[in-house]
Amino acid sequence: MAQTWPDLMALDLLVAVAEHGSVGAAARSRGTDQPNATRSLARLERRLGCTLLERGPRGSSLTPSGLMVLDHARAALSAVRALVDVTAANGSPSSATIRVGASQTIAEHLLPTWLAALRQHHPEISVDVHVHNSHDVVADLRAGRVTLGFIEDPTVPRGVNSLVVAHDEMVLVVAPHHVWARRRRPVSLEELSATPLITRESGSGTRVALDEAVGAPVTPFLEVASNAAVRVSVASGAAPAVLSRLAVSDAVSAGTLVAVPLATRIRRPLHAVWAGARRLQGPAAELLATAHP
């Protein structure tokens, strides 16, 4: 008896429902209408022989069976996209493209060097870069919107493959006229936890690493969505901040910010992440080899 395979578009819709919380929103995100999406998901349920969605007035949620299928759907979609990338690279080098997601610090300070090296050795590969915080990079990866991601979270979410590509140190910085700028005694993590700070937004790898280092969510004086905005806010004297050394080294050298010693060093690994097969293939594997020679 011939095997009947699930429809890939229906699997993609299931992933979209998990992301957006309703069939209608999932359909819009995939450029189709709700009736067609509903029919595709119903056919998928019949084909798999189980109920995948619980539908209610406030949207749709995945059943336990749906959640089980979800992980396999993401892996299947990732594998298909990897297949497309590999065949593009082998069959038409001029059109080989990799979709990459990168958290802000990595995108600003490390990825340009990696891409320049990749371009030197593989000029046939083009890279489409999407810059988000670490949480959103992982969401894009799981949804299949990117093939390879780079994140700053100290821990890697379950269900994705990872490789440490670099290490980073977090630095406490203040304005030159801040009272801590002339401080000789290192700031303890307890004191840091009790001090309102200028922080990146929730979901950023910088914020996650800081919260984990102090053992509890820090108290934000101000939350902003970019390293540049943090630097400007700190330089104004509003409050201290803890950022990647990569993001503040130029400002510290220029004297617009002052690095204050911490009693405990805050270090974090920087990870490459990808879904599907443990071993990457094609352009994504070439970029990973460049980032982690």
Q: For Cα atoms 178, 182, 183, give the angle at the middle one, nearest 5 degrees.
A: 100
Determine the pLDDT at residue 93. 45
Torsion sign across C-alpha atoms 93, 286, 154, 104 = negative
DSSP 93-125: GGGEEEEEEEEHHHHHHTHHHHHHHHHHH-TTE
**Fold classification of 95-165+270-291 (topology level):** D-Maltodextrin-Binding Protein; domain 2 (3.40.190)
pLDDT greater than 70 at residue 84: no
Determine the pLDDT at residue 232. 92
- Each residue's pLDDT tens digit, 103-131: 999 999 999 999 999 999 888 888 999 99
- Each residue's pLDDT tens digit, 157-207: 888 899 999 999 999 999 999 999 999 899 999 999 999 999 999 889 899
If you average pLDDT over residues 30-43, what whole number do you get? 86
Phi then psi dihedrals of residue 174, to 5 deg: -140, 170
CATH no., domain 167-267: 3.40.190.290
CA distance 105 to 117: 19
Which band of pLDDT confidence, cut at 50, 70 and 90, is reported for residue 85? low
CATH no., domain 8-62: 1.10.10.10
Domain ranges of the chain: 8-62, 95-165+270-291, 167-267
Token digits of residue 13? 């819709």
- Each residue's pLDDT tens digit, 11-29: 888 888 887 888 888 888 7
pLDDT greater than 50 at residue 255: yes
Give 62's DSSP letter: E
Intrachain domains 8-62 and 167-267 with the same fold: no
Determine the pLDDT at residue 82. 64
Of residues 93 and 244, more confidently modeled: 244
If you average pLDDT over residues 54-76, what whole number do you get? 83
CA atoms within 13 A on the CB side of 212: 16
Determine the pLDDT at residue 192. 94
For residue 217, the tally of other CB atoms under 10 A from its CB is 13
Q: What percent of the chain has pLDDT over 90?
A: 49
Determine the pLDDT at residue 1. 41
Write down the mean pLDDT value for the chain. 87
CA distance 77 to 90: 20
